[in-house]
Amino acid sequence: MAIRLGRNEYGKAEVRLVHVDRSAAAHRITDLNVSTRLRGDMVAVHTRGDNAHCLTTDTQKNAVYALAREHGVGAAEDFGLLLARHFTTEHDYIDGAGVELEQYAWQRIPTAEGPHDHAFARSGAETRTAVVTRDGDREWVVAGFDGLTVLKSAESEFRDFPKTRFTTLAETDDRLLATDITARWRYTGGRWEAGATDWDAVYEQVKAVMLETFATTRSLALQQTLYTMGEAVLREHSEIAEVRFSMPNIHHIAVDLSPFGMDNPNEVFHAADRPYGRIEAAVERDDAAGPGRAWDAIPGFV
Ligand SMILES: O=c1[nH]c(=O)c2[nH]c(=O)[nH]c2[nH]1
């Protein structure tokens, strides 16, 4: 019987980096949680304890901080590309890298004189994400966000589903539709020149298209809303190959007030935290190149 090392990667998880850009009077802060994953010839490291190829996770963590000092941070996608290229080009025993970035949103504190230059409040908005994967000189970028909570109080129905002997759900042409949108979009292309893509601008545009589509689409099911949101993004952004969503259907159940002699014309709801429907799908451009390794470091999506 032969035993051998299977797939492996290693890196430093959740390096918390806060970068302050002081180049203008109004500071810019970038608050990131960065995880690295490296691949390479690691057989001897695992099987013999020979660490000659083991670029330590401590060194990886230090590189995150030092490269932030050397180059600044900018868009999460650009910083991810910088790190992935650093690890794979400066060490000949490393031939693949994945860099995951989560970005937390801060807003300038409003004051009588306008938004403050150097005081910020963490905003309750979504968490932006970017995952850069590099393999040889191929690169993939998947951007997205977690936890953008939205709700529609009208124009959501759910009807004509199968009625089995276990069905109790009533049909409705007027329900609350609420979800926490987790979205990821994969960029077409295989290598990005520095500064060629305005990642921040595309991020804001994609989010705006998703939100507007959620708001203006009469929902027949969360699945149809999800698909329409992805379709709208792909129609407006030829630089995006596919969009994946994971959306809980956060059920809002109209409370029965009849014991108190009251009606409830869809005004009073119980927001149930569990169980919840889990709706996940990818919306794809059929002529786009395959995903390659783009999704390797992104678990939890269909
Ligand atoms: O939009 C919905 N999709 C479902 O699949 C589903 N299932 C369910 O019970 N309610 C809903 N709503």
**How far does residue 221's CA lie from ligand 1's centre (Å)?**
6
Distance, CA of 219 to CA of 207 (rounded, Å): 19
Strand ranges in 153-294 using DSSP code E only, listed in sequence order: 177-187, 240-249, 252-254, 269-271, 277-284
SS3 54: coil
**How far does residue 172's CA lie from ligand 1's centre (Å)?**
11
Active site residues: 12, 57, 251
221 touches ligand 1 (CB under 6 Å): yes
CATH number of 9-136: 3.10.270.10
Mean pLDDT of 12-34: 97
Q: Would you say 224 is a known binding-site residue?
A: no
| Residue 289 backbone dihedrals phi, psi, to 5 degrees | -65, 155
253 touches ligand 1 (CB under 6 Å): no
Apex 16 CA angle, 11 and 19, nearest 5: 120
Residue 287 CA neighbour count, 13 Å, CB half? 3
Nearest CA to ligand 1 atom 6: 277
158 touches ligand 1 (CB under 6 Å): yes
pLDDT of amino acid 109: 97
Q: Would you say 58 is a known binding-site residue?
A: yes
Cα 268 from chain centroid (whole Å): 33
Distance, CA of 224 to CA of 57 (rounded, Å): 43
Mean pLDDT of 87-114: 97
> Which carries the bigger pLDDT value, residue 301 or residue 131?
131
101 touches ligand 1 (CB under 6 Å): no
Q: Would you say 249 is a known binding-site residue?
A: yes
Average pLDDT of the chain to the nearest whole number: 96
Q: Where are the domains of the chain?
A: 9-136, 147-302
Nearest CA to ligand 1 atom 12: 221
**How far does residue 300's CA lie from ligand 1's centre (Å)?**
20
Q: Would you say 57 is a known binding-site residue?
A: yes
Fold matches, 9-136 and 147-302: yes
**How far does residue 243's CA lie from ligand 1's centre (Å)?**
21
Q: ipTM of the predicted structure?
A: 0.98
Beta strands 127-135 and 28-40, pairing class: unpaired
pLDDT at 299 over 90: no
Q: State the amino acid at position 278 in one-letter form.
A: R
pLDDT at 273 over 80: yes
SS3 215: helix
pLDDT at 301 over 80: no
pLDDT at 190 over 90: no
Apex 35 CA angle, 105 and 200, nearest 5: 40
Residue 4 CA neighbour count, 13 Å, CB half? 4
Q: What fold does the segment set 147-302 form as a domain?
A: Urate Oxidase (3.10.270)
Write down the pTM of the prediction.
0.94
Q: What residues have CB less than 8 Å from 181, skipping those under 6 apart?
A: 126, 145, 147, 148, 149, 150, 210, 214, 245, 247
42 touches ligand 1 (CB under 6 Å): no
277 touches ligand 1 (CB under 6 Å): yes
**How far does residue 277's CA lie from ligand 1's centre (Å)?**
7
